[in-house]
Amino acid sequence: MPWRDPVDVAALSDLATPWCVHVVATLRIADHVAAGTTQIDELAAASACNAEALHRVLTHLVGRGVFEEPAPGRFAMNEPARALLDGPQRLGLDLDGFGGRMAHAWGSLLSAVRTGAPAYHEVFGRPFWEDLQAHPDIAASFDALMGPAGHGAPDPEVQVTGGWETVRTVVDVGGGTGSLLAGILRAHSTVRGTLVDLPETVARSREIFQAAGVAGRVTTLGQSFFHPLPAGADLYFLKSVLFDWPDREAQEILTRCAEAARPAGRVIVLNGVSPDDGARPSPSLMMMVLVGGKERSLAEFRQLARAAGLEVQAAARQPSGRFVVECRPSPVAAPSSP
């Protein structure tokens, strides 16, 4: 038997450390300490909180290796604390932004497990996407986390069958604030693109396209991807979209893509499908809790795609390491004569 560390269930289930990390990230304590505010009273004043309570939280974290306390009540940065400086990681921890939605949503896990359906509404009053629509500030923070400020600029090098020479038009379906499309258009100067996403998200794409110098080759469309999509493009991208949805909705999104791509376009799926190589798809618990979505094996995806009128034509791990699935619309059966 392989040797394994003994598992300490009490330590595994202790919520104190994750919450302390979220709280100091929200209060931007690392930024204050890095800027020279190191005494607990000054830190509490700078972050508008109670000095004694903050001291206890920081003492806990020092005991876990985050920050140092070289003298009583005086704190210093260390390498783990640097991860809490304003930046991508802090964005996902900020309890005042989308990080708070992710953290508090865990409170609905038991209901989700009991029923098999997301119970996000039990915590926030509405299902996930409706909650974002009702809270523009949280939606903006979600978009930022998905975009370059959070997840970074996505690698635009996607290999497609036959190469990019024959591609003239691309639609990025649920493309967020446009960073994948911007990268693709930068890399392929003759290609034109359309970004489809919810109106508020699409409105946040302007700066990204301008910064990439591709604004003149982009059309933006603020609409739902459950409605008909712009028809006749060469490629329809779905990146990190399908794993946000249960099967019924995922199939509907694929159906809209198939209808728009017919007869000669292709649908390219990035993220959310894993190869049939024996490894199980990631359990994607956060997706389960927030939206009832999941990662699918290629076999599961193939079935879903077929029901939506698409055939998988290629599926491979690309040099970037990303697993990419390419589909073509299935030929429409000719109506049988009476």
Ligand X SMILES: C[S@@+](CC[C@H](N)C(=O)[O-])C[C@H]1O[C@@H](n2cnc3c(N)ncnc32)[C@H](O)[C@@H]1O
Interface residue list for ligand X (CB under 6 A) = 129, 146, 174-176, 197-198, 201, 224-226, 239-241, 244
* Residue whose C-beta lies closest to ligand X: 176
Q: How far is the CB of 159 from ligand X (least distance, A)?
A: 18
Please state the separation of Cα 131 from the chain's center in Å.
Answer: 16
- The total number of residues shown for the chain amounts to 338
The dihedral sign for the CA sequence 281, 286, 289, 294: negative
Comparing CB distances to ligand X, the nearer of 159 and 224 is 224
Instruction: Using alpha carbons, select from 265, 264, 269, 235 the residue that is nearest to residue 253.
Output: 269
- Residue 265 sits at the vertex; the CA angle it makes with 190 and 187, to the nearest 5 degrees, is 25
CB of 203 to ligand X, least distance (A): 11
Instruction: State both tokens at 202.
Output: 């699409």
> Please, which residue, 89 or 224, has the CB nearer to ligand X?
224
* Closer residue to ligand X (CB): 146 or 312: 146
Q: How far is the CB of 38 from ligand X (least distance, A)?
A: 37
**Which residues sit opposite 194 in a β-bridge?**
171, 219
Q: What is the DSSP letter of 117?
A: S
Q: What is the DSSP code (8-state) at residue 315? A: E
Nearer CB in complex with ligand X: 73/88: 88
Residue 313, both tokens: 């034509």
Q: How far is the CB of 138 from ligand X (least distance, A)?
A: 12
**Tokens matching residue 3:** 């040797």
Specify the residue, 146 or 324, whose C-beta has the smaller distance to ligand X.
Answer: 146
CA–CA separation, 187 and 14 (whole Å): 47
CB of 23 or CB of 241, closer to ligand X: 241
- Please report where in the chains the tokens 């020092």 appear, as a residue: 62
Closer of 147 and 309 to ligand X (Cβ) = 147
CB 268, min distance to ligand X, A: 12
- Minimum CB distance to ligand X, residue 240 (Å): 4
> Which residues are CB-neighbours of 240 under 8 A, at least 6 positions away?
146, 174, 270, 271, 272
272 vs 309, which CB is nearer to ligand X? 272
Q: CB 250 → ligand X: shortest distance, Å? A: 12
Among the listed residues 67, 103, 105, 104, the one whose alpha carbon sits nearest the alpha carbon of residue 84: 67
Task: Give 39's strand partners.
Answer: 74
Q: Which is nearer to ligand X, 60 or 204 (CB)?
A: 204
Of 184, 273, 178, the closest CA to residue 234 belongs to: 184
Q: How far is the CB of 151 from ligand X (least distance, A)?
A: 6
Eight-class DSSP state of 327: E
Task: Tell me how far apart the alpha carbons of residues 286 and 103 are, in angstroms, rounded to a whole number.
Answer: 10
Q: Least distance from C-beta 177 to ligand X, angstroms?
A: 7
